[in-house]
Structure 1
Amino acid sequence: MTLRFKDNIRSYARVYKYMDTNYDTIFALKRAKAELTPTELKRFEREFNLMKTLDSPYILKVYSYNNKKNEFKMEYVKYSLKDYISKNNPQLNINKRKSLCWQLFRAFEYIHSKSIFHRDLSLGNVLVKVHDDDTCIIKVCDFGYFKEKESTLTRQDTLFAGSLNDPALRLLGFDKYNVQHEIYALTQVIFYIMTGKKNIEKINQASIKSFLEFGMNSDLLNRAKTLQELKDKFSITNWES
C-alpha cells in the first residue's frame, strides 16, 4: 500500500490517496491527527459511523475503520467541486451545471431525511466524480460537524464550522443551526456551480439576485424555509441572463 498525502481538508484529519494492490484500486484514507483530544477522536469516529449508515449515490462511501491508527478508508474522488468548476468552467453548459445542482439537492434531501444536518457545507466538502463517459456525480463528504435535528447535545460554544455558514450563527450559537442555515450555505454552492463565481456582491442579473436573496436573506422570515422552496426558486431562475 503506497500512501500519498492528498489534502488537509479538516483541522483534525488528513486525507491520503493510495493504491490498494489487493483490489488494484485507488482508495482515499482519512487519518486523524496524532494530537487530537479524546473528544475530537470520538467525533472523528462518529463521522465514520454515520457515513457508514448512509446509502446514496451522492454521499461519499466509507468502508472500514482502523481503531489502532484512527483512520478510515473511503471512496477516492479526484476533484473537489471547487477544483472541478474552476478547471472546466469555460466549457460547462447550463444543462451540465443544472444536473450537478439537482444532484446536490437530492443529496441534501437524503441527508435531511435521516434527520441530520451537515453543518459544514463548502466548495471543498462537495466532490465531483468524473467517469470515463464524462458522467459527473456529486459526492458530499466530511460529516465531522453533523448534527441530529432533534439533538440537544451540541453545546452553545461549539466551534463555528463551515466557510459558507450564515455569519449570524456566531451570535445565535452553532447549536441553533437549522434547515434555513443549511439553505444559506447551499445557496452559495449552487450559485458557484451555475456561474463559476464566488463573489455574490456584484451580481446585477435580477433573477439570480432574487435567488440569492431568497436563499440568504438575513431575515429568516424572508429566507427559504425548506429545500423544496429553494428548489422551486432555482427552477424558475434565469441563469442565462
Structure 2
Amino acid sequence: MSDQSMGFPPALKEKYVISKTLGTGACGEVKLAFERETCLKVAIKIINKKKCLLENDRPLNVETEVEILKKVDHPCLIKIKDFYEGEDFYIVLELMEGGELFYKVRRPAKLSEETCKLYFYQMLLAVQYLHQNGIIHRDLKLENILLSSPSEEKCLIKVSDFGQSKLLGESSLMQTLCGTPDYLAPEVLRFESGAKGGGYGRAVDAWSLGVILFICLSGYPPFSETPQKCLRDQICAGSFTFIQEIWDHVSQEALDLVRKLLEVDPIRRLTIQEALLHPWLQDEEMKRIFQELVSKAETAPNLLVKGRKRPRAEDELVGPTKARKLQQ
C-alpha cells in the first residue's frame, strides 16, 4: 500500500489497492495498482490539478484525454478502465509491463530491423485507426509507445498519452502549438513563427512517426541542437543528421520509408495509409507474428479490458483502392 493512498478518492481505494510509483512527470505520476476483485495489475495515471491548471480552474486536456480513451478500441491503443476525480484526476489504465520504447532504443541498446518493423507496423495501425476516427494524436514520441513485455522483444506495443490529442472534423486544421520539440513537424513550427498556411493537420503524426522510426533504426535522433544550427532550422529544412556507418546496416527500403515520412512538405509526405503500403512493410511473416500476439493478448486477462469487441487487426489494413478513397 502506498503511504499516500489515504488522499485518494474513496471509490478508487474501494476498487483498487494502490502500490508503488512506476514513473513521474511534469503534471503527476503513474502508480501500480491491483484490482481488488480480480487481483489484476493496472496503472493509475495521477494528474495533479495544481500543477496543470490551464483555465477555468480545470486542466482541459484531461477531459479530452478521457473522452478519447473511452472512444477508442484497438489492440495497439492503451485502454482505460476507470476514471476518478478528487483532489487530482485519476485515470486507471491497463498496465504495460514492458515500459516505454524510449528505454529500448537508448544507447547502447539497439533494436534489430525486424523488431523495428514489427513495432512500427503496430504504430501505423494505431494511428491509422485514430485518423479514421477523427483523432490526431499530436504528441507521438518514444516515451508514449509502451511495450507489453519487459523481456520478450517480439511483443505488442500500444500508443498512449492522449493529453495533447485533438478531436476534429474532416476539414479541420489545428491551430494550437503542442507536442514535443524534437518530434514537431515543420508546419507546426512555421505556424508558431507566424508563417501563412492556416494551421496543420493529420500529416503531423506521420512526421512524428518518421522521427520515431529514424531513432529506432539508428539509435540517435534525426535532429538535435548544435552550435552551428538550431533545432528549428534543421526541422524546417528537413536536414537530418546521417551517420553513414550506422545506416550502412539498415536496408534501403527502411531508409526510403524514413525519407518519405520526413518530407518537409506535408502534401508530399506519405500518409499513414500510404506508409502501410510501403514495400518495407509487405512482410507476411511479421504480420503473422503480430496476429499471434493479438490473439494471445485477447486471452490474457491482464491485457483484456471489458467492453466492446475489438476489431480484427487485419480489418485496419487498407488496400490500394481503399487507400485512394481515404485520400480523396
Q: TM-score, normalised by structure 1?
A: 0.81
- Does 2:3 correspond to 1:3? no
State the alpha-carbon separation in 2 of the partners of residues 210 and 132 from structure 1. Answer: 30
| Map of 1:101 onto structure 2 | 120
Shift of 1:165: 1.3
State the alpha-carbon separation in 1 of the partners of residues 219 and 179 from structure 2. Answer: 23
Cα–Cα, structure 1 residues 159 and 180, in superposed 2: closer, same or farther, change >3 Å? closer
Question: Which digits, 9 at most, give the CA deviation of each residue in 1:148-207, with x for residues without a partner?
Answer: 232899984x34222411144133149823122111101111222333333450243593
| Map of 2:221 onto structure 1 | 198
Cα–Cα, structure 1 residues 42 and 171, in superposed 2: closer, same or farther, change >3 Å? same
Cα–Cα, structure 1 residues 80 and 88, in superposed 2: closer, same or farther, change >3 Å? farther
Cα–Cα, structure 1 residues 5 and 177, in superposed 2: closer, same or farther, change >3 Å? farther
Shift of 1:59: 0.5
User: Counterparts in 2 of 1:34-45, with a 5 A limit?
Assistant: 34-35=49-50, 36-37=52-53, 38=56, 40-45=58-63
State the alpha-carbon separation in 2 of the partners of residues 167 and 8 from structure 1. Answer: 29
| Map of 2:266 onto structure 1 | 220
| Map of 2:79 onto structure 1 | 61
Cα–Cα, structure 1 residues 161 and 132, in superposed 2: closer, same or farther, change >3 Å? closer
Q: What SS does structure 2 have at the residue aligned with 1:84?
A: helix
User: Counterparts in 2 of 1:76-155, with a 5 A limit?
Assistant: 76-78=95-97, 79-86=99-106, 89-90=109-110, 92-130=111-149, 135-150=154-169
- Most deviating of 173-182 and 135-144: 173-182
- Does 2:252 correspond to 1:229? no
- Most deviating of 191-200 and 115-124: 191-200
- Most deviating of 14-23 and 141-150: 14-23
Q: What SS does structure 2 have at the residue aligned with 1:19?
A: strand
| 1:32 maps to which of 47, 53, 57 | 47
| 2:30 maps to which of 4, 12, 15 | 15
Is the 8 Å Cα contact of residues 12 and 40 (structure 1) preserved in structure 2?
no
Q: Which is strand-richer, 1 or 2?
A: 1
Cα–Cα, structure 1 residues 109 and 151, in superposed 2: closer, same or farther, change >3 Å? closer
Q: TM-score, normalised by structure 2?
A: 0.61
| Map of 2:92 onto structure 1 | 73
Shift of 1:71: 0.8
Cα–Cα, structure 1 residues 152 and 41, in superposed 2: closer, same or farther, change >3 Å? farther
State the alpha-carbon separation in 2 of the partners of residues 221 and 2 from structure 1. Answer: 47
Residue type of the alignment partner of 1:187: G
Cα–Cα, structure 1 residues 26 and 15, in superposed 2: closer, same or farther, change >3 Å? same
- Does 2:180 correspond to 1:162? yes
Residue type of the alignment partner of 1:198: P
Is the 8 Å Cα contact of residues 149 and 178 (structure 1) preserved in structure 2?
no
State the alpha-carbon separation in 1 of the partners of residues 281 and 70 from structure 2. Answer: 36
Q: Which runs of 5+ in 2 are unaligned?
A: 1-16, 223-239, 283-328
Identity %: 20
Aligned residues: 233
State the alpha-carbon separation in 2 of the partners of residues 76 and 54 from structure 1. Answer: 17
| Map of 2:287 onto structure 1 | none
Is the 8 Å Cα contact of residues 98 and 194 (structure 1) preserved in structure 2?
no
State the alpha-carbon separation in 2 of the partners of residues 128 and 61 from structure 1. Answer: 13
Shift of 1:40: 4.5
RMSD: 3.1
